[in-house]
Amino acid sequence: MEELTTDDAPESIGPYSQGIASGDRIYVSGQGPVDPDTGEVIQGTPGEQTRRTLQNVAAVLQAGGASLDDVVKATVFVKDMRYYDEVNEVYGELMSPPYPARSAVEVVKLPVDIDVEIEVIAER
């Protein structure tokens, strides 16, 4: 197991790694719309939050020698399913076919006050 860390994604807020490489797989912990330079949640629409979130995911993947193109499974957590279409539109812009397997789950609360969190598994 190899820990993946990067200054281009927010620091973990608990006892977990930004990402882990194990063999050919990369596991990226849930990322949110946090500016890695300031540590602050970006203000914006759920779509803008999704864009920042996927940029953070991409940064962790890059630390492991992969990219969003290598994602085989994603889990999207949204605070309100009313945001689903907006989140999906940005997700579709940044991910490429063949699209990874995916789950989308509405949650009551996330560890910080954000509208979206995304975790992924990639193959390098």
pLDDT of residue 8: 97
Q: Is the pLDDT of residue 63 over 90?
A: yes
* Percent share of the chain, pLDDT over 90: 94
pLDDT of residue 18: 98
pTM reported for the whole predicted model? 0.96
Dig out the tokens for 51 from the structure: 């864009």
Helix residue ranges, H only, the chain: 46-63, 84-94
Backbone angles phi, psi at 122, to 5 degrees: -130, 160
Q: Which domains does the chain have, with CATH numbers?
A: 2-123 (3.30.1330.40)
Q: DSSP label at 124?
A: -
Q: How far apart are CA 33 and CA 117, in angstroms?
A: 8
Helix residue ranges, H only, 3-117: 46-63, 84-94
Q: Is the pLDDT of residue 90 over 90?
A: yes
Q: Is the pLDDT of residue 114 over 90?
A: yes
Average confidence score pLDDT of the chain = 96
- 29-43 pLDDT tens trace: 999 999 999 999 999
